[in-house]
Chains A and B, each alone.
Chain A
């Protein structure tokens, strides 16, 4: 079963208080441990720094089996370069397109 939650974050609104309960709830469904869930939240916060308005930041979270994925758009992956090494250690994998970053965490 796939569970998907899509959030839109406007302006400079802090993203963590919005995604934290969603990630934790989805983590409960995927049997992700709390340390992995917390590190995913930290990774989302780091990627959010690469958000480039004026469009709102769209955050799509999906739980599939034992995997949790989070896509953030629009973000500029090139701007993420400096923190990518940190983000990559907080999640199982990170993939990018022109204006999106997808984080994946496996159980």
Chain B
């Protein structure tokens, strides 16, 4: 029996057929898992791949002409990407993540009160932690889900000739174009418009700490390219 026939039976809820489709998709799943090697465990990737296969089974329509393997591939990759993202979160112990969230909240509150970024000691006092716990928690900030911000604020912040002129002034050209839009906006505002992180946070509707994370990530991306020896 072909895998496509198994898929049709599996889609009708036949448990044996679902097992058979999973077995028949093993090679595809293993092959796609290699793309994410080292970013999550092999077991997690294969398990995620299996979920992707079963999701594909539930919506597969052979009348559309695509082979099941081709149809299932984006489902499998999607689940594997989710597993990779989950892995990066899981690696930070819950206690550290909670402390990281606590310092982020304290930092947001203090930034609003003081109208500037707070010091480590101010955050420690506000969060009821000692300096060392704050230093440790700050390293765990990457584990926090990034806030989405307000799309309308993003549009307002990057509209107009002032922003375009600043973009040209900092002279990063194509390197700037390679950044995702919000990171590009932050780089232009920090270096072209010379705004502080707190001012950028206000304009984009996100926290100062998140501005800081995005700025550092953007600089880490463009930095090595800046120092390439010219040929």
Contacts and interface: CB of A to CB of B under 8 A. Distances in A.
A20 interface: yes
Interface string B159-188: 000000000001000000000000000000
8 contacts: A24-B134, A24-B139, A28-B119, A28-B121, A38-B212, A42-B216, A46-B219, A85-B170
B216 A45 contact: yes
A49 B223 contact: yes
A82 to B, nearest CB: 4
B212 A82 contact: no
Q: Which 5 A-B pairs have the closest CB atoms?
A: A35-B117, A28-B120, A33-B117, A49-B227, A38-B212
B65 interface: no
B133 to A, nearest CB: 11
B197 interface: yes
Interface residues of B, number: 35
A79 B227 contact: yes
A25 interface: yes
A89 interface: yes
Interface of B: 107, 116-121, 123-124, 131-132, 134-136, 138-139, 170, 190-191, 194, 196-198, 208-209, 212, 215-216, 219-220, 223-224, 226-227, 229
Contacts of A39: 197, 212, 215
B119 A31 contact: yes
A83 B117 contact: no
Nearest to A41: B216
A42 B138 CA distance: 15
A50 interface: yes
B17 to A, nearest CB: 48
A5 interface: no
Nearest to A20: B139
A34 B223 contact: no
A34 B120 contact: yes
Contacts of A57: none
B117 A36 contact: yes
Contact of A34 (B117, B190, B191): B117
B136 A34 contact: no
B102 to A, nearest CB: 14
A89 B186 CA distance: 14
Contact of A24 (B107, B120, B223, B224): B120
A82 B230 CA distance: 11
Interface string A54-68: 000000000000000
Contact of B197 (A24, A35, A50): A35
Interface in A16-42: 16-17, 20-21, 24-25, 27-28, 31-39, 41-42
A80 interface: yes
Nearest to B215: A42
Contacts of B229: 79
B32 to A, nearest CB: 28
Contacts of B138: 20, 24, 34
Contact of B227 (A24, A34, A38, A82): A82
A87 B124 CA distance: 28
